[in-house]
Chains A and B, each alone.
Chain A
């Protein structure tokens, strides 16, 4: 191996590793930063403004706050579940029931960032969902399934309030885009708390 070739391989692989590493590290950092920015626009939303975009060019806005006390989890849920939205926070799937409303409200999030906590969810856990308007709602986790991505029955509407959280499965897969999804379903419990207070 000539010194020149070695040098070329060294520089090429080192710079590629750097670029990819920065890219790979940036994704979770972005997910964290976005949630911080979102918290600010959530506060403004709660104080009465409508569709507060977290940054001027955003095409989404906060519509709910999801918490799980046992895992110390606190997330701002965004409108829409497109790939672009999910980079910043879990997204509410269009066409499903509104957060806090009657029916099946479906929220999806990235398995390796915001919704990584789903792997630790247990049956009986209490999820708190604070919609923009209306009282805080509590949901008790009653089921989880592993389904294929075409099993859209988990999106099917209900006549009782249901919260459905969807993320990719398996959690530790390296390649994105697999066909399996991890689905947690939670039914609303009767006790409604006072909410965040305005």
Chain B
């Protein structure tokens, strides 16, 4: 080999080794780095066919009007949107749109010219058949179906050329409470968003490469932005200490002690960002409670809201805690899951305050406790716990019952609140037995399941939290560990009211949630109930740690309508029905089989006019308008990810085999190039 070629080989070798190392290095961070978090839903879109090339374009939204009524924590919204068919053909439009996470759509009205078609709640399959029949008969029809918790599809059949259709929908949601403030968010992205440069963010490239859906994503051209008008009325139940919008300029007016009105500063606002409204009730030294009621069908529906005291005073009222960490080290936790669980516990240890007590329990086929019983959170014991957690290894079965028994055993020391942080992937088969055990042995403890891994058993987590009177946290990726654990601990730090009981003064009262959780500094507590008898006051009792707390509330009705025309006044009844449906869907009523649950949900859906998994809204016009024999073109819309509804991620299902083989081949190439000189020539020459 000549010196020059020798050098070339040398640098080639080094280059290849470098490339291989670099490859191995980048391979790791790439894992799990994407796809988690709250990516955006890219607005709702009404798609219409355009031209002969088979593409579809969004129909122009002419305008949007939004009116929202807030009763305590319930917001009812009415959204009016007008669409126009700009083409020359009769079309069926399919409109997919996001609503706030917990929004429950209950009304759909379609206005075509002078005609008003009121949507009816029907069992889902029947609604679909009614719609299809109307479509085939050339009638105007509209169908609203729930695709996923916060994604809805509205189909409108037989829109004539140049015709304008107005769709009015009403929904209800529970407003969020964040850092001492209520926050109402209205996704103005509900109107089409036009993005001049390419497809919306988050659309995987594969949709271009491999059309899985029959619809090619619409081209996002420049288009006029839809103007929006918006008004909000808030009956907060308390006097407010602040009311403002971080997103838009607003005007406000106070109607009475606890009722406020809000409207956008200019009449029409471009729908380029979500509307956000924040308000904070004036808070005192002790928890406060408010009660809203309404009559419906001879029954009284009540909404009880308890808000924690001013955080400035919360420190004083803070109950000392006994925290029991339980970590699942069974075989199914092996790998990334166990690493995340360890990280979560390490973060949790940092959160302990002097005066708190704690213990760590590990379980797989057997249960192992770090300390025989809880110890004070001093630096030495925390250090010991850190070592213990570090040394954990995943192996064996999932014998959860013993671990639960160890965690819930006995009573916490006098004056302490016991919080059990239960980190697991929930890979168990004997769920009902475990739930029963938790229900029986919970005592003064509270159970906070933390779901770990790519496919945790979310049913187990949710139900265990419910039976354990705690909340459930889900951690889907290593990136979420510290954020989610911090949020959990901020909340757990300050239980302000435990063992809450509500005396409804009516033996037939049906309250949801049936088991009332504790009140924490970070979260108001909302209980709904249906009362059958005449009740004029209710009594709320709890333990403040320093002593008992009690409030007597008189029943009152929500403030009457003001300037804006209110929708049907059934916010509280609907919230009650929605919560009961959630409980039913969770299999919350023991012994109920699937068919019984379905029937009960359909009944509630029909009685309270709610769109559920089993009921849909359908609106059919009686007169055919499309010319006979016209078959409207149908289109579906590629569905986007619902924001924030990611309760988990799908299992990861690729092995490292192809990567290993590729690197192996590469390295083999390196070896071939760098093979000792003797073997570089033929055996005969070498001799």
Contacts and interface: CB of A to CB of B under 8 A. Distances in A.
Interface of A: 1, 3, 6-7, 9-10, 13-14, 16-21, 23-25, 27-28, 31, 59-60, 79-87, 91, 93-95, 102-103, 108-113, 115, 144-156, 159, 166-170, 172-181, 183
B654 A152 contact: no
Given A84-B334, A148-B35, A167 B653 contact: yes
Main secondary structure of the interface of A (DSSP, over half): mixed
B623 to A, nearest CB: 34
A20 B17 CA distance: 14
B652 A168 contact: yes
A15 B61 CA distance: 65
A20 B665 CA distance: 9
B650 interface: yes
A117 to B, nearest CB: 13
Nearest to A18: B664
B656 interface: yes
B658 A177 contact: no
B335 interface: yes
Given A9-B674, A23-B660, A94-B426, A166 B650 contact: yes
19 contacts: A17-B665, A21-B660, A23-B660, A24-B659, A59-B331, A60-B332, A95-B426, A110-B655, A111-B653, A112-B657, A149-B649, A152-B650, A153-B148, A155-B648, A156-B148, A159-B598, A159-B614, A177-B652, A180-B204
B646 interface: yes
Interface stretch (B5-13, B231-239, B566-574): B5-13
A181 B648 CA distance: 14
Main secondary structure of the interface of B (DSSP, over half): loop
Nearest to A28: B657
Interface residues of B, number: 84
Contact of B9 (A1, A93, A156): A1
A91 B651 contact: yes
B102 interface: no
Given A108-B455, A179-B35, A181-B653, 13 more contacts: A9-B670, A10-B674, A16-B664, A28-B655, A59-B330, A82-B333, A84-B331, A94-B425, A95-B460, A150-B648, A152-B650, A154-B650, A175-B659
B652 A147 contact: no
A175 B646 CA distance: 24
B658 A174 contact: yes
Interface string B456-485: 111110000000000000001000000000
B671 A10 contact: yes
Nearest to A6: B674
Interface stretch (B26-34, B164-172, B540-548): B26-34
A155 B650 contact: yes
Contacts of B27: 175
A27 B641 CA distance: 33
Contacts of B333: 82
The 4 closest A-B pairs by CB, nearest first: A179-B35, A24-B660, A177-B31, A59-B331
B27 to A, nearest CB: 5
A170 B205 CA distance: 11
Interface in B664-687: 664-668, 670-671, 674-677
B647 interface: yes
Nearest to A103: B594
B332 A82 contact: yes
Contacts of A17: 663-668, 670-671
Given A9-B674, A113-B655, A156-B148, A82 B425 contact: yes
Given A20-B664, A108-B653, A169-B206, A3 B677 contact: yes
A24 B656 contact: yes
A179 B653 CA distance: 11
B417 interface: no
A165 B545 CA distance: 51
Given A10-B675, A146-B207, A180-B206, A166 B453 contact: no
Nearest to B461: A95
A83 B335 contact: yes
Interface string B512-543: 00000000000000000000000000000000
B433 to A, nearest CB: 16
B642 interface: yes
Contact of A146 (B210, B641, B642, B677): B210
Nearest to B151: A153
A176 to B, nearest CB: 4
A4 B623 CA distance: 92
Nearest to B397: A59
B660 A3 contact: no
Given A6-B677, A59-B330, A146-B204, A95 B598 contact: no
Q: Which residue of A31, A174, A183 has the most chain B CB atoms within 10 A of its CB atom?
A: A174
A151 B656 CA distance: 23
Contact of B651 (A93, A95, A172, A180): A93
Contacts of B427: 80, 82, 94
Given A86-B653, A109-B653, A173-B654, A148 B641 contact: yes
B671 A14 contact: yes
A177 to B, nearest CB: 3
B212 interface: yes
B201 interface: no
Interface string B394-416: 00111000000000000000000
Contacts of B677: 3, 6
B472 to A, nearest CB: 13
Contacts of B655: 27-28, 31, 87, 110, 112-113, 176
